[in-house]
Structure 1
Amino acid sequence: MVNAINLGDNAVFERIYRMYYPALRFFASKYVGDDESEDIVESLFLRVWKQKKLLASEAHLKAFLYQATRNACLDFIKVQGRLNKRHHVWLNQLEKTEQDYLHHLVHTEVLAELHRAISKLPSQCRYVMQLGFVDGLTNEEIAQTLSLSVQTVKNHKVRALKILKQQFAGSISELLLIYIFLH
């Protein structure tokens, strides 16, 4: 190897660095932009220096540097793509978590307010609303449980809703329309 290039030689390495750095940086910037190209090419030269390669010719050196720069740029793009994807997933998850948090907060506060208001209802209306709203019983099941007619249960519900509507008049759209008519 008469024309071999020893990149382990300080003087040779410095000459190669000064000669190829600007062109490689320009080449890399076409793939990744100016800011990243500087880091990529500097990292490439650092790796080349550590490897102390011995290359057969100037043409071999030039092909090696351009190919290594291209590969480093493609690796950078691949990694950035993964990072961007993870960041996007994370942002979506954060947004969903925030929405869930706000939904649960509003839901909890509305329910707490309804429970407080229901506890202040007249006793028969309160029992009917607790059985229907809290326990989820149907009108027929409430009637059986309290030994009332279904119509009486309905009347207590109507009376309770009127009282609740008066209590919440004007506040948060009548407490979200009495929590969407108790579900």
Structure 2
Amino acid sequence: VWISMVPQNPKLPDEISIEDFVMLGRNPHLGLLQWESKEDFNIARKSMSLTEIDYLSRRKLGEISGGERQRAMLALAITQQSPIMLLDEPTSNLDIYHQIKVMELIKKIHALKSGFGVTILAIHDLNIAAQFSDRILLFSNGSIAADGLPREVLTKNNIDSIYGSEVTIITHPEHGTPVILS
């Protein structure tokens, strides 16, 4: 079983093209001395299209923004097609448009894996977590302090006690998920 990992602040090689970088996600599927197939390239191109970086395919990693690099990392993870995806702050360095697009994409990919895949995110934006997560775990001092559905976990009592800050919780008018206000 392969695990795809998208770290928060990866050290990436500046001189590699986006397309070549994303193609690295196919390496686990290749045999010894085997070259990538047309299907491998199609999978990578689709991943770049899904993450909206296909227009950057010939550019070098060192020439693009932090948000574009983050989306390149996500494209590589998607290209790997592993049943388990670990994502550390996948929306860091992204503007609000791309935060929502990335989270919608992660949710869509997770849905496509229904029954055989797991997607785990470490994310500090509790409002984004509430809107896009099926299950939330809150940690305090290295231990699980709360676990369950967003509406069960993201309560005023939990947020106030775990984070030591007073908040107001309202319900999102469209999604029915909790929204945390300071």
With the shorter chain as reference, the TM-score category is: under 0.3
Query: What's the TM-score once normalised by structure 2's chain length?
Result: 0.24
Higher helix share: 1
Larger relative contact order (CA 8 Å, sep ≥ 6): 2
Using the size of structure 1 for normalisation, the TM-score is: 0.24
Greater gyration radius: 1
